[in-house]
Amino acid sequence: MHSVEEVQKLSVLAPATGEIIAEIEETPVHEVPFFYQEARKAFGAWSSLAISERTGYLRKLKQLMVDEMDEIAKIISDDTGKVLTESIVADIMPTLDAIDHIIKHAEKVLSRQKVKTPLLLIGKKSFIEYMPRGVVLVISPWNYPLQLAMVPMISALAGGNSVILKPSEVTPLVGKCIEDLFRRSGFPEGTVQVAHGGKEVGAAFTSGKPDYIFFTGSVRTGKIIQQQAAKDLIPTTLELGGKDPMIVFEDANLDRAVKAAAWGAFTNSGQVCMSAERLYVERSIYGKFLEKLKKEVNSLQQGNDINSDVGSMTFPAQKDVVREQLDEALERGAKLETGLKPSDWKEDMFLPLTVITEVEQDMKIIQEESFGPLLPVVPFDREEEAIAYANGTVYGLNASVWTQDKAKARRVASKLVSGAVVINDVLITVANHGLPFGGTKESGIGRYHSEAGLKIFCHEKAIMEDMG
Ligand code: ADP
């Protein structure tokens, strides 16, 4: 397919150790049409299978992943710097859960549905059929490199589409692992293909006329992809960033809220699109909360062994984003409660877990996604003020509200402009695959997981039938 001298290699850097641990061949861009050709060839037979036959392949995939869980977890941890438990609990298990959910629900959600026909249309019957779109291009990021690639892939496959994945070049070992898992699960040739490489490869696939693009990544790239897709009127789902607020009222269960703030902000070193990125605490408990939070954060252990709580950063450039936000805040008078100023950071990929106070709402640390272990804490006096703070960014992915007053919790949740709200917990909505996941404002377009996440990969065909 390509001559040896043209092959570019992606070096795989293990962030926790700084070592190059593998090299992976990039897909040459001149092969892009060949991928689409194969995918279109495979589409005919795959889309003709019964939904139960397609989910049969997903069962095999799930079994293989369960059998090889330890090996997969090691690959994820080597590639990202996550601790092993995080790879298992937050990347592999949610993927397995999603496969289960699809196996159980795809048939019901995607089968022909009867719709009531009005009396006027005497003798006619009305139906909706869910037709696969064709070839779905999935472009995925590096922070949860398994589930953020595989969940859209399996959803699209269940609907009868063939799939091309372009995983992040930052975590190519996981991309290779996904390719291998699908191949060994016996999916028919061309139904699932994986292309490796960076943004040039991604851009070449985006302009290769897929029938649908499912993108997860930064707002900046999401906008580029949306522009490109618009040229060919290609529908998209965009799962982008977040700057998720956590609001703690004075009647909250303080100890639980403190632990949730530490976990919500620092799990995976804060490299979570829906991590708690801003903490708003009612002034009457602010001092007490902050003391407890500092103690909790200082007790967390960073490292890459089995006993560590928090692993390393994954992507070197992300350190610069965190550095810039922190420098600006400190220059403007913010106060470090835990962590170090950037000039005192070590060279490695373990950033200090940083809690910061006395910040202003117009600082980058409040307005822009940090995607790192950085948590600004801000006091508030009134409910409306907390809501205004929370809604005061361009993002709207997830939010968390803490109070024991149910009416207040629900009132505040309904006023937050956010794809999801968790009451008295953080992050957790994504663990229920029955709930839709996605953002408002610049956090994205579209939803996945849930029924919506299966239906987006199909177009709805209206059928009206009159058999006399
Ligand atoms: P991050 O900076 O968080 O890695 P990106 O949005 O840059 O997020 O990358 C997410 C995914 O999008 C990766 O797989 C990357 O290779 C891909 N990508 C980046 N730029 C483009 C582009 N212009 N067109 C298509 N894919 C792209």
Between helices 383-391 and 406-415, what is the axis angle to 10°?
A: 30
What average pLDDT does this structure show over 400-422?
Answer: 98
Cα three-residue angle 395-441-411, rounded to 5 degrees: 80
Of ligand 1's listed atoms, the one at least distance from the Cα of 371 is 3
| Sole residue written with tokens 């229920």 | 432
Report ipTM (2 d.p.). Answer: 0.98
- pLDDT value of position 304: 84
Residue 191 near residue 46 (C-beta atoms within 8 A): yes
pLDDT band at residue 305 under the 50/70/90 scheme: confident
Percentage of residues in the chain with pLDDT exceeding 90? 91
Residue 55 near residue 103 (C-beta atoms within 8 A): yes
In testing the pocket of ligand 1, which one of 199, 207, 320, 370 has its CB within 8 Å of the most ligand atoms?
Answer: 199
For residues 423 and 335, give the distance between their C-alpha atoms in angstroms, rounded to a whole number. Answer: 29
pLDDT band at residue 238 under the 50/70/90 scheme: very high
| Length of the chain as a residue count | 468
SS percent in the chain: helix, strand, coil, step 5:
45, 20, 35
Answer yes or no: is pLDDT of 4 > 90: no
Protein residue with its CA nearest to atom 13 in ligand 1:
168
- Annotated catalytic residue 38: no
- Minimal CA–CA distance to 253: which of 401, 126, 42? 401
Helix (H, G, I), strand (E, B) or coil at 410: helix
Backbone angles phi, psi at 140, to 5 degrees: -125, 160
Identify each DSSP E strand in 227-368 by its residue range: 236-239, 244-248, 276-282, 335-336, 354-357
Looking from the CA of 372 toward its CB, the CA atoms found within 13 Å total 28
Q: How far is CA 195 from CA 205, 221, 273, in A?
A: 9, 18, 24
Q: 419-445 pLDDT, tens per residue?
A: 999 999 998 888 899 999 999 999 999
- Classify the C-alpha dihedral 17-22-23-26 as positive or negative: negative
Residue 449 near residue 436 (C-beta atoms within 8 A): yes
Pairing of strands 335-336, 354-357: antiparallel
Q: 143-197 pLDDT, tens per residue?
A: 999 999 999 999 999 999 999 999 999 999 999 999 999 999 999 999 999 999 9
Give the H or E element holding residue 14.
strand 9-14
- pLDDT value of position 3: 37
User: CB within 6 Å of ligand 1 — which residues?
Assistant: 139-142, 166, 168-170, 198-199, 202-203, 206, 217-218, 221, 224-225
Catalytic option among 26, 86, 273, 337? 273
How many Å is the Cα radius of gyration of the chain? 23
Q: What is the number of helices (H) and of strands (E) in the chain?
A: 16, 18
| Sole residue written with tokens 């490292």 | 303
- Annotated catalytic residue 200: no
Q: For 9, which DSSP code?
A: E
Protein residue with its CA nearest to atom 4 in ligand 1:
141
pTM of the complete model: 0.96
